[in-house]
Structure 1
Amino acid sequence: MQILVAVLWIMLGATSAGAIPYEDEVASTDANVDFTQAAPFTRSLAKLGHAWAQFDLATMLKNGIGVRLDKKEAMVWYRKAAEQKHVGAMRNLARLYQVGTGEAQDPVHAYFWYSLAAVSDEEAKKVRDQLEHQMSAE
């Protein structure tokens, strides 16, 4: 079953090379990908523990692309990918904590995830440092 799902995933053009790299770059993905069709396969791979699929599913949920908009569920999938050291997921999860997701903002969790992402992501380091400055000023 895993092989079938992976083959379908590749046939839809949603390989990690063409995966959604960051939250605001959805428009730069292959225009031929039908995200509504890709969503069930993405979800299947995400459930199997594939970090890129977890990241892609979270991004689809966060932006309502191919699925209904659900930022809380997006956080769940970003966390799963982040726990597998997916830097983009760490950064996006931090951002959701920073701005809030229909709940109160959580700068402590935002700082935590930005700090982990900052090890290999210069932009995350900058945002983390700005957040640290804001937190110390309060």
Structure 2
Amino acid sequence: MDGAPETAINGTYNLFLVALSIVIAVIASYSALDLAGRVTASTGVSLKACIEGGAMVMGVVIWSIHFIGMLALSASPMTYSVLTLLVSMVVAVFASGVALWLPYQFRQGSSMRGLALKLGSALAMGGAISGMQYTGMAARFTPTGE
């Protein structure tokens, strides 16, 4: 036995795509912090637009960062289940919406305070990223007969 498990994927990474994913992640992090500030300052229709639009943008960006990273790996021929990829994007969008909604609750005098708010937002974003990650990885498979 050569030490590598049978399930290991051997391949190489396209460094341009890896770098692109990192650059998008850095820009998205700044944008997410700015957006959270806007949500806490918004009211009425603009609040709803900030939360819904922000959830869409943050979810799609998180998903894009992950998918670009997956595309960067050149291994044996792989295909993707489009339906499972879409489910992974919905997971990221929904959890991002929760993470943006929590700061609004704090402003409204919710019983959530300080650490609980931060913990809730962190768990929502962590859930968005990990749920999207595992669902997205489940969408990638090696075609049979290859």
TM-score (norm 1): 0.26
Where is the helix percentage greater, Structure 1 or Structure 2? 2
TM norm structure 2: 0.26
Larger relative strand fraction:
2
